[in-house]
Amino acid sequence: MSVTQEAPPAPTEEPKVRKPSTRKRLVPYWLLLPGILWLVVFFALPLIYQGSTSVQTGSLEKGFEVTWHFQTYWDALADYYPQFVRSLLYAGTATILCLLLGYPLAYLIAFKAGRWRNLVLVLVIAPFFTSFLIRTLAWKTILADGGAVVDVLNTLHVLDVTSWLGWTESNRVLATPMAVVCGLTYNFLPFMILPLYTSLERIDGRLHEAAGDLYATPATTFRKVTFPLSMPGVVSGTLLTFIPASGDYVNAELLGSTDTKMVGSVIQTQFLRVLDYPTAAALSFILMAVVLIAVTVYIRRSGTEDLV
């Protein structure tokens, strides 16, 4: 913070408001410069490079050249639209599940936990610190063929229904869409719970009492008071869940099969194994565009533009 040292000492003789000196006016820019430069060089510039890569043709041996070959985009979409649709579908399902599972827990922490609040919060945050790959591998054990979970679901005939829906295969959960969505939901739940908790915690408990005094049932209180007031948390929670989930490939690779591959997987393979850079770049540009458009529309519709 050497910047503050450079600022001139506070005027002690002149109580009148002075126009800030040029040096002082530059303070915010000096504060911003290193960080913003970092983001420009290592975040914005790479995106431009990627844009240029996506319209190149050539091969690894002969080298790539910008030829404005937009056909790559159409070819990539034609080849990989199942993976795209699947990614958005899985990420969307996981987000809805996160909201359904996360809301009660966030509510519990905010209003019902009392002196247990800190402990529950710790239990929500602490799993974060065990590498998420290790935890995802643990799901392999939990959902294993012939394991307890599969047994219970089988006995209750749940698997018959889900297999008919195409979510599982008979007697299997692992390597099916259900396993992938389960992993995604699990992985991104904390990103839903924490914003929900923050916005629920801000709600004045007296509002609930007031609603009760006005003869609102608990359900009505929730519908008319609690939920609308928690909207900022719902919006940021769904975004924090959906965005990373749509680009994830870890769950699909570890818990799924070749039939559950998501678009992140394709981008990774094209980039790191096939070395078809233009296709990989085009794919990740399409993913970025889809996510950004979805996010913008969603933020507009939910009317919390000040969120950003």
Partner 1 sequence: MPVLRWLRRHLIVIAGLLTLAYMILPNIVVMVFSFNKPNGRFNYSWQRFSLDAWKDPCGVADMCGSLSLSLQIAVWATVGATVLGTMIAFALVRYRFRARGAINSLIFLPMAMPEVVMAASLLTLFLNMGAQLGFWTILIAHIMFCLSFVVTAVKARVMSMDPRLEEAARDLYAGPVQTFVRVTLPIAAPGIAAGALLAFALSFDDFIITNFNAGSTVTFPMFVWGSAQRGTPVQINVIGTAMFIIAVLVVLAGQLIANRRKNNARP
For residues 149-188, which are near partner 1 according to CB under 8 A? 186
| Contact call for residue 39 and partner 1 (CB under 8 A) | yes
Nearest-angstrom CA–CA distance, 197 and 103: 8
Nearest-angstrom CA–CA distance, 250 and 158: 26
CB 84 within 8 A of CB 287: yes
Give 57's DSSP letter. E
Nearest Cα to 267, choosing from 48, 54, 67?
54
Angle, CA of 168, 173 and 177, to the nearest 5°: 50
Among the listed ranges 66-74, 119-127, 158-166, 203-211, the one in contact with partner 1 (CB under 8 A) is 119-127
Burial 35-48 (b: 16+ CB within 10 A, else e): eeeeeeeeeeeeee
We find the least distance from the C-beta atom of residue 71 to partner 1, in angstroms, to be: 19
| Contact call for residue 293 and partner 1 (CB under 8 A) | no
| Contact call for residue 66 and partner 1 (CB under 8 A) | no
Q: Which is nearer to partner 1, 42 or 215 (CB)?
A: 42
Nearest-angstrom CA–CA distance, 115 and 113: 6
Q: Which of 21, 23, 46, 81 binds partner 1 (CB under 8 A)?
A: 46
Q: Which of 15, 35, 114, 205 binds partner 1 (CB under 8 A)?
A: 35
Q: Which of 158, 229, 231, 288 binds partner 1 (CB under 8 A)?
A: 288
Site for partner 1 in 223-262 (CB under 8 A): 239-240, 243-244, 246-250, 254
Q: Which of 21, 49, 204, 303 binds partner 1 (CB under 8 A)?
A: 49
- Beta-carbon contacts of 249 under 8 Å, excluding residues fewer than 6 positions away, are 261, 262, 263, 264, 265, 267, 268
We find the least distance from the C-beta atom of residue 157 to partner 1, in angstroms, to be: 21
Cα atoms in the 13 Å half-sphere on the side-chain side of 111: 19
Q: Which of 21, 23, 32, 85 binds partner 1 (CB under 8 A)?
A: 32
Nearest-angstrom CA–CA distance, 289 and 263: 13
We find the least distance from the C-beta atom of residue 213 to partner 1, in angstroms, to be: 19
Nearest-angstrom CA–CA distance, 6 and 27: 9
| Contact call for residue 281 and partner 1 (CB under 8 A) | yes
| Contact call for residue 68 and partner 1 (CB under 8 A) | no
Q: Which is nearer to partner 1, 51 or 228 (CB)?
A: 51
